[in-house]
């Protein structure tokens, strides 16, 4: 019994000891587990922290990736643009290279032309000097001839426009007091022949034997000219006469009786000299210019259609005053018209 109790006590002791050991072991494991748990908690926190960091880093990387992608796309576009710009620049470069080559060729051409122009300029300068020398010689010759001409121009048949330089323009009008009754005057410058003579007052100045009329103006010095349109008039006498010529008796148109005139009659032209001189005109005159040089006793007639000389009376034995003279031959011969000219001082 005692043994049994002993065994029981011993058994209880052993069990208690075992329990204590187990408890200690469990306690140790519990502490380990607690430590492990704590460590796991810390590890969890660490992992959570790392996870959060990784998550942030992932998000940042995503953003960086997007940024890089955007920059990549921009760079790709810029690269493409640069490629295009490069092609454009290459094209321009090639064009500039061609233009440069063309400019070089043009420069060479211009240089050649420049050299040619320089040579031509030098030649022109020499030619100018030669021409100037020849001009000076010609000018001297002209001056010499002009001096000779100035001393003897009266004896030459100048063009009328040139001859007018030495004469005064005479504004000639018709004098009705001298007009034959068969003549009709209009505007003081035009004369024609009527169907029958007019009933006009008789006076000492009027022509009665021939259908003539004089100009109002009289000349007793200097040089004068006037123009008369004859147009299609078929019969006329034109010129000058002394103021005191015969008018009532039979009148003869000749220098001996104080007339210096030319005539157109039956399509023929005559200088009313003694005897009459037939004239040959290259062109029928429509306007005749009459030049009177009283001092040199000359009267010249010019055809203004071709500026040709018709006839000149020289050594006219002028004395007293002279007046423009006009005559018509037929009633249907047309009319004569005196051109109005402004008076100019003698050149």
Q: 48 pLDDT band (50/70/90 cuts)?
A: confident
Cα-Cα-Cα-Cα dihedral sign, residues 55, 56, 59, 65: negative
Which pLDDT band, with edges at 50, 70 and 90, does 31 fall under? Answer: confident
The fraction of the chain above a pLDDT of 90, given in percent, is 41
Mean pLDDT for all residues in the chain:
86
pLDDT above 80: residue 148? no
User: Could you tell me which residues come within 8 angstroms of residue 219 by beta carbon, excluding any fewer than 6 positions away?
Assistant: 170, 240, 292, 294, 321, 322, 323
For residues 276-284, average pLDDT: 95
Task: Pick from 15-19, 35-39, 209-213 the range whose average pLDDT is largest.
Answer: 209-213
Entry pTM: 0.57
Region 129-140 average pLDDT: 80
The phi, psi pair for 205, rounded to 5°, reads -85, -20
Question: 292 burial class (0-12, 13-18, 19+ CB within 10 angstroms)?
Answer: buried
- 9 CB-side CA count, 13 A: 5
Tell me what pLDDT residue 344 has. Answer: 46
pLDDT at 345 over 60: no
CATH of domain 159-338: 2.60.120.920
Q: Does a cis peptide bond (omega within 30 degrees of 0) precede residue 203?
A: no
Structural tokens at position 338:
């005196």
pLDDT of residue 53: 85
**235-242: strand order across its sheet:** 212-214, 322-328, 235-242, 259-265, 268-271, 277-279
Pick the residue with more confidence: 251 or 283? 283
| 19 band by pLDDT with thresholds 50, 70 and 90 | confident
For 193-239, how does the pLDDT look when each residue is reduced to its tens digit (9 = 90+)?
988 888 888 888 999 889 999 999 999 999 999 999 999 899 999 99
Q: What is the mean pLDDT of residues 289-316?
A: 92
Instruction: Give the pLDDT score at 346.
Output: 39
Question: Phi, psi at residue 11, to the nearest 5°?
Answer: -65, -40
pLDDT given at position 238: 98
Residue 302, pLDDT > 70, answer yes
- Of all residues in the chain, the percent with pLDDT exceeding 70 is 89
Given this model, what pLDDT does residue 110 score? 84
- Per-residue pLDDT, averaged over 258-268, amounts to 95
Q: Report pLDDT for 347.
A: 34
237: closest CA among 278, 258, 265? 265
């Amino acid at each position: 019994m005692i043994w049994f109790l002993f065994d029981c006590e011993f058994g209880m002791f052993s069990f208690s000891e075992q329990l204590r050991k187990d408890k200690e072991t469990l306690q140790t494991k519990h502490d380990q587990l607690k430590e492990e748990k704590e460590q796991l908690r810390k590890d969890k926190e660490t992992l959570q922290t790392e996870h959060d960091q990784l998550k942030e880093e992932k998000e940042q990387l995503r953003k960086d990736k997007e940024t890089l992608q955007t920059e990549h796309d921009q760079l790709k576009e810029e690269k493409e643009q640069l490629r295009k710009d490069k092609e454009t620049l290459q094209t321009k470069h090639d064009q500039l290279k061609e233009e440069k080559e063309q400019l070089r060729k043009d420069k060479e051409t211009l240089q050649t032309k420049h050299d040619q122009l320089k040579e031509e300029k030098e030649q022109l300068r020499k030619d100018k000097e030669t021409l100037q020398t020849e001009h000076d010689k010609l000018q001297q010759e002209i001056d010499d001839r002009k001096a000779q001409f100035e001393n003897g121009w009266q004896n030459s048949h100048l063009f009328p426009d040139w001859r007018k330089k030495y004469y005064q323009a005479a504004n000639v009008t018709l004098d009705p007091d001298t007009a034959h009754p068969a003549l009709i005057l209009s505007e003081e410058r035009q004369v024609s022949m009527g169907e029958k003579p007019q009933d006009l007052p008789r006076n000492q100045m009027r022509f009665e034997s021939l259908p003539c009329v004089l100009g109002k103006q009289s000349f007793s010095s200097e040089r004068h000219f006037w123009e008369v349109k004859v147009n299609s008039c078929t019969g006329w006498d034109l010129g000058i006469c002394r103021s005191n010529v015969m008018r009532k008796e039979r009148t003869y148109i000749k220098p001996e009786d104080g007339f210096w005139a030319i005539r157109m009659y039956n399509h023929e032209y005559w200088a009313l000299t003694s005897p009459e001189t037939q004239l040959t005109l290259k062109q029928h005159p429509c306007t005749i210019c009459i030049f009177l040089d009283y001092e040199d006793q000359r009267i010249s007639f010019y055809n203004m259609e071709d500026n040709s000389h018709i006839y000149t009376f020289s050594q006219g034995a002028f004395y007293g005053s002279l007046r423009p003279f006009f005559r018509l031959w037929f009633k249907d011969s047309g009319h004569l018209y005196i051109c109005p000219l402004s008076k100019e001082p003698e050149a």
